[in-house]
């Protein structure tokens, strides 16, 4: 099911609740772009211990209302094994009309497999 963006027209004018969220889910990355702001923290680029847990992410999701637009960001977001589960949490709790999954594209098989899992969360969505 795809959620209509028109649900948010009142929120656009009232500006009471955020309807756009860019959510950083990992700083881990399998690339080393010279312009990346994470390069200064090179030691922690492969570090998982500072990542939010799924339960912490669920609480953050519940602290927001309906979203028009949800963009995940990193790091390379497909390095998080639980990306499909995280996607489901936000889709269920925040009903975004648009979800973005930016990637550096260096893991095409993994990206395809996980994207297929994610696409099952919202059957019929483009
Ligand atoms: S792909 Fe993105 S996160 Fe990874 S090194 Fe390049 S700019 Fe940084």
**Confidence at residue 45, expressed as pLDDT on a 0 to 100 scale:** 56
Q: Which of residues 90 and 15 earns the better pLDDT score? A: 90
Nearest atom, ligand 1, residue 38 CA: 8
Q: 57 CA to middle of ligand 1, Å?
A: 22
pTM of the model: 0.86
In this structure, what DSSP letter does residue 53 have? P
| pLDDT value for 126 | 64
**pLDDT interval class at 22 (50, 70, 90):** very high
24 confidence band (pLDDT: 50, 70, 90):
very high
pLDDT tops 90 at residue 11: no
Q: Is the CB of 51 under 6 A from ligand 1?
A: no
Query: Does ligand 1 come within 6 angstroms of the Cβ of 103?
Result: no
Distance CA 94, CA 97 (A): 9
Q: Whole-angstrom Cα distance, residue 20 to residue 9?
A: 13
C-alpha 108 to ligand 1 mean position (Å): 16
pLDDT tens-digit readout, 30-39: 998 999 988 7
96 CB within 6 A, ligand 1: no
Q: Is the pLDDT of residue 118 over 60?
A: yes
Residue with the smallest CA separation from ligand 1 atom 7 is: 36
Percent of the chain scoring above 70 in pLDDT: 85
Alpha helices in 1-126 (DSSP H): 9-14, 54-62, 83-94, 108-119
How far, in Å, CA of 51 to CA of 86, rounded?
13
- Structural domains in the chain? 5-119 (3.30.750)
Residues 94, 7: Cα–Cα separation, whole Å: 12
Query: Which ligand 1 atom minimizes the distance to the CA of 104?
Result: 1
* Burial class, 101, CB count within 10 angstroms (exposed 0-12 / middle 13-18 / buried 19+): middle
Q: 81-114, pLDDT tens digit by residue?
A: 999 999 999 999 999 999 999 999 999 999 999 9
Distance (Å, whole) CA 108 – CA 78: 10
Confidence at residue 44, expressed as pLDDT on a 0 to 100 scale: 57
Cα angle for residues 1, 19, 114 (degrees, 5° grid): 45
């Amino acid at each position: 099911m795809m959620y209509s963006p028109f649900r948010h027209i009142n929120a656009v004018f009232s500006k009471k609740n955020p309807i756009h969220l860019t959510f950083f889910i990992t700083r881990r990355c399998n690339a080393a772009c010279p312009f990346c702001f994470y390069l200064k923290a090179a030691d922690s680029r492969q570090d998982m211990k500072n990542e939010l847990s799924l339960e912490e992410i669920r609480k953050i999701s519940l602290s927001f209302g309906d979203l028009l637009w949800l963009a995940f960001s990193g790091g390379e977001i497909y390095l998080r094994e639980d990306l499909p589960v995280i996607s489901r949490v936000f889709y269920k709790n925040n009903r975004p009309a648009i979800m973005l999954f930016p990637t550096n594209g260096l893991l095409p098989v993994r990206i395809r497999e996980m994207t297929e899992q994610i696409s099952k969360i919202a059957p019929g969505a483009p």
